[in-house]
């Protein structure tokens, strides 16, 4: 009993145990990670007060005023997509998978399994884990390639090597070097192939060159395995043209994997909409592969998000919306082609090496600058670009292109 007139306070929780002064925290020795070379660009750009600054770093489709390229059809379709209140299957939304398959492969084929993934990056991780589970632990990437390919794929268990892709003297595809690398690749090696709008160079194979690549895979069927990365369908030459090589491999009865992203061609970067297609020898094998991919998805992130996938499905499944979306995509592609033309003209006008103005497609052009030169572009000229001088050209006007060319001239002195 307490003393009359006093209040007795009882705590249901014991006081926290105090850590001994000499005892370090569990995470006290965790070192800080270095800033991401691409994602960190935006922060520095925002803090730059120069009116003439240009952000040509992160690979986001932009308009000429540098604002994000939002598709009106996507905004319209999103209003009709309800919030999901129940778990989907680990395979994802089946309507989306059917329509995405038709968009990429031109058909729904029983020997091709499909799962929805967390963007193209999720597809790459599912791909890597599937290959490693089948004893395919080595993968060759084009040199150069997207900066995040290597960490994503090594995180899935792959050992990475590279093959020659670009002719350094002409900035065109080194097709002889590439064919030689494919011919000499060890048995059991997976080969990464970017289907269109190559990241970071913007330099793509021609139809004739793709036929030569297909010929190597046919001769070495069962020895090397093709993996297609399709992140920019519709933004290079066209919706059909940009995946023509994938459909050729399918028609020839080849086994392959496609890691597909809808981030760029629908502007759904934050919704993480992707798909992974595995072409197998039969429908029965495809069903087994699907079950294994779904199990790995379940173990990794459980199930994919539905909202973005259902936006894509609602557009692809509605003839009117699809027509409008295709028109928007064509306009974005025209803008990219105009930007590449403006940059090439400015480069030639500034007297820079001719190889820097070689034909490009898609979002990017690579200038192959040193880290010091990239730093000078940013510090002295307010022009923010990716590692190696990768430029996202989508917002370039003729005047901006001249500004870039003049700055590049200065840092190359």
| Number of helices and strands in the chain (H, E) | 14, 13
What is the sign, positive or negative, of the torsion defined by CA atoms of 45, 51, 54, 58? positive
Q: Which of 3-12, 98-107, 248-257 has the lowest mean pLDDT?
A: 3-12
Tell me the pLDDT tens digit for each residue of 278-333: 999 999 999 999 999 999 999 999 999 999 999 999 999 999 999 999 999 999 99
Residue 152 has pLDDT above 90, yes or no: yes
Q: Where are the alpha helices (DSSP H) in 134-205?
A: 149-155, 175-184
Residue 253 has pLDDT above 70, yes or no: yes
Please provide the average confidence, as pLDDT, over all residues in the chain: 93
Nearest alpha-carbon partner for 63 in 256, 268, 326, 267: 267
Instruction: Please provide the distance, in angstroms rounded to a whole number, between the alpha carbons at the two ends of the chain.
Output: 88
Q: What is the pLDDT of residue 410?
A: 93
Orientation of helix 94-105 relative to helix 244-251, angle to 10°: 90
With a pLDDT cut of 70, the percent of the chain lying above it is: 95
Residues 6+ apart with CB under 8 A from 102: 108, 316
Answer with the residue of higher pLDDT: 309 or 86: 309
Answer with the residue of higher pLDDT: 43 or 194: 194
Q: What mean pLDDT is predicted for residues 342-356?
A: 92
* Residue 245 neighbours by CB distance under 10 Å: 23
Residue 137 has pLDDT above 70, yes or no: yes
DSSP state of 196: S
Nearest alpha-carbon partner for 121 in 262, 237, 241: 262
Give the residue numbers annotated as catalytic, written as ranges. 146, 229, 264
Tell me the pLDDT tens digit for each residue of 12-53: 666 666 666 677 888 989 999 988 888 889 899 999 999 999
Q: What is the pLDDT of residue 13?
A: 60
Nearest alpha-carbon partner for 393 in 344, 347, 345, 339: 339
Q: What is the pLDDT of residue 85?
A: 84
Q: What is the pLDDT of residue 66?
A: 85
Nearest alpha-carbon partner for 368 in 391, 398, 397: 391
Q: What is the pLDDT of residue 138?
A: 97
Q: Give the three-class secondary structure for 9.
A: coil
Residues 6+ apart with CB under 8 A from 135: 188
pTM of the model: 0.90
Tell me the pLDDT tens digit for each residue of 223-242: 999 999 999 999 999 999 99
Q: What is the pLDDT of residue 8?
A: 56
Q: What is the pLDDT of residue 198?
A: 96
Q: What is the pLDDT of residue 6?
A: 56
Report residue 275's pLDDT band, with 50, 70 and 90 as the boundaries. Answer: very high
DSSP string over 332-390? HHHHHHHHHHHHHHHHHHTT--GGGGS---SSEEE----HHHHHHHHHHH-EEEBGGGE
Q: What mean pLDDT is predicted for residues 56-81?
A: 91
Q: What is the pLDDT of residue 4?
A: 57
Q: What mean pLDDT is predicted for residues 107-121?
A: 96
Q: What is the pLDDT of residue 18?
A: 62
């Amino acid at each position: 009993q307490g003393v009359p007139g006093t209040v007795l306070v009882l705590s249901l929780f014991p006081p926290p145990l105090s850590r001994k002064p000499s005892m370090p925290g569990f995470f006290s020795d965790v070192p800080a990670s270095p800033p991401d070379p691409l994602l960190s660009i935006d922060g520095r750009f925002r803090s730059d007060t120069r009116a003439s600054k240009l952000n040509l770093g992160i690979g986001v489709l932009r308009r000429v005023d540098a604002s994000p390229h939002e598709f009106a059809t996507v905004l319209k379709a999103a209003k009709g997509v309800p919030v999901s209140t129940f778990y989907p299957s680990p395979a994802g939304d089946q309507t989306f998978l059917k329509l995405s398959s038709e968009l990429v492969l031109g058909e729904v084929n029983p020997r091709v399994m499909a799962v929805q993934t967390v963007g193209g990056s999720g597809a790459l991780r599912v791909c890597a884990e599937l290959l490693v589970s089948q004893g395919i632990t080595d993968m060759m990437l084009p040199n150069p390639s997207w900066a995040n390919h290597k960490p994503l794929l090594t995180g899935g268990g792959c050992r990475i090597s590279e093959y020659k892709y670009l002719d350094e003297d002409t900035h065109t595809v080194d097709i002889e070097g590439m064919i030689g690398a494919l011919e000499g690749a060890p048995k059991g090696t997976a080969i990464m192939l970017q289907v269109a709008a190559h990241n970071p160079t913007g330099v793509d194979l021609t139809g004739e060159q793709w036929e030569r690549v297909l010929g190597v895979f046919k001769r070495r069927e069962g020895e090397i395995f093709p993996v297609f990365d399709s992140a920019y369908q519709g933004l290079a030459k066209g919706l059909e043209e940009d995946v023509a090589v994938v459909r050729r491999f399918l028609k020839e009865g080849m086994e392959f994997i496609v890691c597909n992203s809808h981030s760029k061609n629908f502007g759904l970067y934050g919704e993480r909409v992707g798909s992974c297609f595995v072409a197998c020898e039969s429908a029965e094998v495809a069903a087994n592969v699907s079950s294994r991919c779904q199990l790995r998805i379940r173990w990794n992130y459980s199930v994919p998000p539905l909202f973005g996938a259902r936006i894509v499905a609602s557009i692809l499944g509605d003839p009117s919306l699809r027509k409008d979306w295709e028109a928007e995509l064509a306009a974005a592609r025209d803008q990219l082609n105009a930007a590449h033309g403006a940059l090439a003209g400015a480069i030639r006008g500034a007297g820079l090496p001719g190889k820097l103005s070689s034909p490009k497609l898609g979002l990017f052009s690579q200038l192959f600058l040193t880290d010091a030169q990239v730093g000078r572009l940013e510090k002295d000229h307010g022009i923010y670009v990716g590692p190696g001088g990768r430029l996202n050209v989508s917002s370039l006007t003729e005047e901006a292109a001249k500004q870039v060319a003049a700055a590049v001239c200065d840092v190359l002195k």
